[in-house]
Amino acid sequence: MVEFIAALGWVVLAEMGDKTQLLAMAMATKYKVGKVMLGVLIATVLNHGLAVAAGAFLGDLIPLGIVKIVAAAAFLLFGLWTLRGDKLDEEKEDKKKIKFGPVLTVTIAFFIAEMGDKTQLMTIALAAKSDSPVFTLMGTTAGMLVADAIGILLGAIMAKYIPDKYIKWTAGIIFMIFGTLTLYGAAPEWLINPVFIVIYFVLLAGLIYIAGVKFAYKDNGLKQVREEVKEEEEVE
């Protein structure tokens, strides 16, 4: 029990203001709170379970540089997808895809974001000196849920009072900021120069225009997505 309380406390402190807590807020502006929480739970159990089981060996198994590049690409793609929006069809099969899509989306995003993050490294350190790895895993998972729930609740409140288009653009920009910062930290030094930086932002601006303006689903906003899901749950 001591290991559980210690792990919970340390992870809550480490997660406050971390990118995954802000990611939770962004996800909550796009999907229902319950689905976001479930995705966070699944991703945390898988990620921290891997950390507890593999320990320091994980760093040799997957180079941190590759992990950061994959995470950066994922954030950028999620940002562009958020700007483009979701298309709603009347077919039941398409509705099922929307119903199950958010959980998988959140799980993947959080799993990637946690790879190499300080909370995962903290989990490895706590598990290495713990006599009960199971309690350590339970504590770190609970700590992640407590901290990220704060971001999720704030995101849910935003979704009630802020117009959909502002929510969509805010969430998309948050994803792309994380992607850009992560890519900056993983890029080799010879790429960090004014020429490549300008090229990167020009390309990113073009992709933002294509996804958020030219090919965006203007008639199927976040509010409609939530209303469709709510109707299905009421019927069930």
Tell me the per-residue pLDDT of 47-61, one tens digit each, with 9 for 90 and over.
888 877 765 454 456
* Torsions phi, psi for 163 (to 5 deg): -55, 150
User: How far apart are the C-alpha atoms of 160 and 70, rounded to whole Å?
Assistant: 33
Q: Which of 20-24, 84-88, 154-158, 185-189 has the lowest mean pLDDT?
A: 84-88
Query: In this predicted structure, what is the pLDDT of residue 86?
Result: 58
Neighbours of 1 (CB within 10 A): 9
User: How far apart are the C-alpha atoms of 2 and 52, rounded to whole Å?
Assistant: 17
Has residue 19 got a pLDDT over 90?
A: no
Domain extents in the chain: 2-235
Q: What is the mean pLDDT of the chain?
A: 76
What the block records as the tokens of 99 is 């119903």
Query: In this predicted structure, what is the pLDDT of residue 48?
Result: 86
Q: Alpha helix (H) ranges present in the chain?
A: 2-15, 19-28, 33-54, 57-61, 64-84, 92-114, 118-128, 133-161, 164-186, 194-209, 222-235
Report percent pLDDT > 70 for the chain.
75
Concatenated DSSP letters of 4-47: HHHHHHHHHHHHTT-HHHHHHHHHHTTS-HHHHHHHHHHHHHHH
User: How far apart are the C-alpha atoms of 57 and 154, rounded to whole Å?
Assistant: 37
User: Does residue 144 contact residue 40 with C-beta atoms inside 8 Å?
Assistant: yes
User: Is the backbone of residue 53 left (phi > 0), alpha (psi -120 to 50) or beta?
Assistant: alpha
Tell me the per-residue pLDDT of 89-146, one tens digit each, with 9 for 90 and over.
444 434 444 445 788 888 888 888 877 777 777 777 777 667 777 888 899 889 888 8
* Torsions phi, psi for 115 (to 5 deg): -65, 120
User: Does residue 217 contact residue 154 with C-beta atoms inside 8 Å?
Assistant: no
